[in-house]
Structure 1
Amino acid sequence: MRLLKRGRLLLLLKLTVVLGSLWMLSLLNNLKIGWDPAYILKYSWLEYKDAGPEKVCNCSAILRGEREALEEAKLLTITKDFRKSVHIPDEYYINATQDCTKFKLSRKYLTIPLSQEEEDFPLAYSIVAHHKVQNFERLLRAIYAPQNIYCIHVDNKSDASVFSAIKAITSCFPNTFMVSKAVNVVYAAWPRVQADLNCMADLYNSSTKWKYFINLCGQDFPLKTNLEIVRILSSMRGGNSLESEKLPEGKKWRVTNAHHIVNGKIQGTGKAKDPPPFNLPILAGNAYIVVNRGYVRSVLEDKRIQALIEWSKDTYSPDEFLWATIQRIPGVPGSTWPNSKFDMTDINAIARLVKWQWHEGSEGSLEAVYPECHGNHVRSICVYGAGDLQWLLEQHHLFANKFDTDSDPIAVYCLEKYLRQKALAEMH
């Protein structure tokens, strides 16, 4: 009994220290004393400790690409007992978020800005998710900052436990909200774009302060800290960064033939489409973008873009040309001229790093775009393994896709640990 009371007393004491630290940091911020390290209390309690099953991994060696550490990680990821031990079920999040203060403390969320520079440059995020709550929550934790704003879209077709868990997590943060109108997302069809459009509108109307919009899916993960992202975007001086290049001949059927949704899948109607409005040149791209507030305003208000949106609704995979085309419309803030000299590939854009199976190759291959995948492939996309981390962190992209805690939890664990340590180190 005495030991139990003593344990409770120690727990209470630790909680008091943590809450006291938060209160003091909030006070310093409100007093605008500044962000001199001399005033900042120690943040070691915000580091991710090696407390779970992943502690057997040597993340430092993995990030350096050491063969022995990578082989150990590979063996662990194919061990069912290990994968089961690190999996967090949806029910955990539903129950844990009954006490939001405890949830944020135990999951080590950053609930104050880490610098004045970051506080002065808020970002807006749209996250579209439909499964894998653990992936979503670890993504949110990795990018969360109180000055940013987050819109979450959960596919209407998602399991009830997924919706309940994500809604519960979202409810714990004042700057994070569920989209006002969710849709049934259909792969390669218009609803995928509509999900982001709905979040765009909600984010634009919810805050006038944010500088840039970034859209993500639940299996993305950052490669940079929030401060690094802020500095990269600041250096762009209002420019946008997204894939936008000439539409390949082999994909022109996507925008010249009409399509519709039948039983939850997209199908051709056999009818030809009229040319795009205002003779707009259609460019190729992908679903993920990094754009300024003015670009979003144009999407919501520009009559040319509104006409393009309506025209796009019966095309195939409109997410792979709409944003790219808007980026080349004269007058859109941060846009570039439609001339081919301004074409930008996904490798040169910073929005998203994806390894496509047909572009992979062995080391030294001049034809390969990037090295071979160390994880597995889903729909020809690399689901990153721990062996991909060293290469990923050498790239200039802000985010990468795909990660999956079910297939390689070590890749996510080591990446999030690295980013948190770096974010805290940047303060000193």
Structure 2
Amino acid sequence: MAPAGGLTLTQAGTGAATRAELAERYASLTEVLHRHAQSADAAAKLPEEVFAALRASGILGAAIAVEYGGQGGDSLLTNRLIELTAAADPSVAIILFQHYAVSSRISEWGSEAQRERYLPRLASGEWIAASAWSESGSGADKRNLATKARRTEGGGWLLEGAKAFTTGAGLADVYLVLAQTSAPTDGVASTYGSDGQTFFLIEAGNPGLFANTGMDLVGMRSSATGFVELTACEADDSAVLGPVGAAVRIIAGVRESGATLGAVSAGIAAAAYRTAFAHARRRGLEGQQAVRHRLVDLAAKVEAARALVDASARRDSAEPGNTTLYSKILGSRISEEVVQEALRLLGSAGYLHDHPLNKLARDARAVGLMGPTNDLARELVSAPWTAA
């Protein structure tokens, strides 16, 4: 019996030559990730070698059109790259997911000047992007923002506020910042985001932006998740992404894209399964029917999570946004189940604090708590049911 999880980059929105090149360049990256994952988690910080390998890997441009230096890939390709990365180090996969998300938003909503400025740099790895949406105390639904952006006398913008749980804080070169630019309209209701909110592209060199990676996280410890403070942060109209006051439309479009954190969960589940399979083989347990059957059940769960991630990327359902949410809900649940079952199969071997499965268990739990959290994802799916 061979272990599941032999994911490839075939059938993924790019030409065969491009897929082959990505696969070759990814192989060198994954070797670096595997080598440093445990020590990076313990230190709660990515070593420079990992970050340099990510920048040089060529995969950062997967979601960017060829004309801007990218690979022109679709969500199927980016989800698979995220899953492959998560199987090596989920913290890096989360950074990659956010980079793809911002790249896609610039591609879709940016002006031509913004595309020309940002996309070639994001594709080459010269720059890495991060999202700065969440705030402490505002809830994961982004409807109650304390971060404000107001017009200045000179016609520009002044941003004031603080963002929490920003993945890649201090590492990113450009941040997609969500701010309130006008009061919400009473007649407009949204479960995620609100009207009167606007996105801004704020570069790391802006003197009004301060990043702090001091969060001591339980999971995804080396993802540089922290705070971003905006203090007298000046920006002009060239920093505005999309229409002023219409960020809620951009947020809604993220779900329709098919990009999903479920890919991170699928990668975690695949890594946990492979660890359990390798343990069973080393101990000569594959001859026991009970062990084989348990491994088959784990393999089936990994494939189920991956199938839903792929369905999300293909956007071939009547409600593709819901499929994206389902893939996160089910994927995160499956990854937690697979990791726990793998730990039970290992027995006392998995009781050591620094066993890789215990890191995966913490990371698996973290995905369900990331925005939109699983409970919010359930609300996003079910809210229309009561709107009669």
More helix by share: 2
| Same fold (TM > 0.5) | no
TM-score by length of 2: 0.29
TM-score by length of 1: 0.27
Q: Which structure would you say has the larger Rg?
A: 1
